[in-house]
Amino acid sequence: MTRRPPVARSLAALRRSLDTLRSRRATVALVPTMGALHAGHISLVRLARRRASRVIVSIFVNPKQFAPHEDFGSYPRTMDADLAKLAAEKVDLVWAPTAEAMYPDGFSTAIAPGGPALAGLEDRFRPHFFGGVATVVGKLLLQCRPDVAVFGEKDYQQLKVVTRMARDLDLGVKVIGAPVRRERDGLAMSSRNVYLSADERRSAPVLYRTLKDCAARLRGGEAVAATLEDGRRAVVEAGFALDYLEARHAESLAPLASLGDGPARLLVAAKIGHTRLIDNLKV
């Protein structure tokens, strides 16, 4: 059996481990996760490995990015299986802080991201989300001081928010996005896919199919508004409650009236049953 990576659960333990890693003149990559690791996360770890000589994976289900009605309590927690997967990838260190280590009693500081965090996509439906993400990612980056940090493009708006924050706060880290990993039928890999019933799982790839259809139509010169209108209808007809299907500028996330306005990204979020799924695609 491959040896489990060391797991730091307190800041003191993290600092000791980082001193050892750094004393070997290592370059360090951080892959922040909330655990429940799947092949998508493993692709982030492998990308991190190509960009740095040491790889740290953080596992922390961050209460600050869940609203009270969301799934913080039931979010899948699979630490043993996660550590086995990270051992197979020869990860150098796992940073799995306790809630108390991350947010000690009296914790009262928050990062309030602007720009891409206010693009009117996820923020419209999860107003608490990017504040929680920015605060915890800011802390993780300051705690681990990596040279690079890897985030999945699956959470595309999150990637843009973190990239902006790292620049704005001079965090001295290069933020790298990793392509979305998909199941064979196109469904984007997500820790929340385990919530889907068999019927919902069969319908779920409609999101990716719709993104692909819309992207092909836009590339073929069709109008943005009409294409999105048809895409929205297809998602709703497949049984989803649609939050948004939008075409945005791939960097600023500003709305796009036509493809001539810049590199485009299609982004979708929709609920099937109780499960909310998001996905996105380059046009």
The nearer residue to ligand PAF, 5 or 152, going by C-beta atoms, is 152
Alpha carbons 80 and 268: distance in angstroms, whole number:
32
- The answer to whether the beta carbons of residues 265 and 280 sit under 8 Å apart is yes
Is there binding between residue 34 and ligand PAF (CB under 6 A)?
yes
Catalytic residue among 38, 41, 69, 249: 41
Is there binding between residue 32 and ligand PAF (CB under 6 A)?
yes
Site for ligand PAF in 43-82 (CB under 6 A): 62, 65
What's the closest the beta carbon of residue 257 comes to ligand PAF, in angstroms? 30
Alpha carbons 147 and 12: distance in angstroms, whole number:
21
Where does this chain touch ligand PAF (CB under 6 A) — which range of 10-18, 101-109, 132-140, 243-251?
132-140
The nearer residue to ligand PAF, 151 or 240, going by C-beta atoms, is 151
Q: Which two tokens stand for residue 100?
A: 């108390």
Contact pattern from residue 256 through residue 275 relative to ligand PAF, giving x for each residue in contact according to CB under 6 A and a dash for the rest: --------------------
The nearer residue to ligand PAF, 126 or 265, going by C-beta atoms, is 126
Q: Which of 89, 92, 122, 155 binds ligand PAF (CB under 6 A)?
A: 155
The nearer residue to ligand PAF, 133 or 277, going by C-beta atoms, is 133
Is there binding between residue 123 and ligand PAF (CB under 6 A)?
no
Between strands 93-95 and 7-8, the pairing is parallel
Is there binding between residue 33 and ligand PAF (CB under 6 A)?
yes
Contact pattern from residue 179 through residue 218 relative to ligand PAF, giving x for each residue in contact according to CB under 6 A and a dash for the rest: ----------------------------------------
What's the closest the beta carbon of residue 34 comes to ligand PAF, in angstroms? 4
Where does this chain touch ligand PAF (CB under 6 A) — which range of 32-40, 68-76, 165-173, 254-262?
32-40
Q: Which of 55, 56, 121, 136 binds ligand PAF (CB under 6 A)?
A: 136
Q: What is the 3-state secondary structure (H, E, C) of the chain?
A: CCCCCCEECCHHHHHHHHHHHHHCCCCEEEEEECCCCCHHHHHHHHHHHHHCCEEEEEECCCHHHCCCCCCCCCCCCCHHHHHHHHHHCCCCEEECCCHHHHCCCCCCCCCCCCHHHHCCCHHHHCCCHHHHHHHHHHHHHHHHCCCEEEEECCCHHHHHHHHHHHHHCCCCCEEEEECCCECCCCCECCHHHHHCCHHHHHHCCHHHHHHHHHHHHHHCCCCHHHHHHHHHHHHHHCCCEEEEEEEEECCCCCECCCHHHCCEEEEEEEEECCEEEEEEEEC
Q: Which of 133, 148, 266, 281 binds ligand PAF (CB under 6 A)?
A: 133
Asked about 41 being catalytic, the answer comes back as yes
| Residues engaged in binding ligand PAF (CB under 6 A) | 32-34, 62, 65, 133, 136-137, 155, 158
Q: Give the active site residues.
A: 41
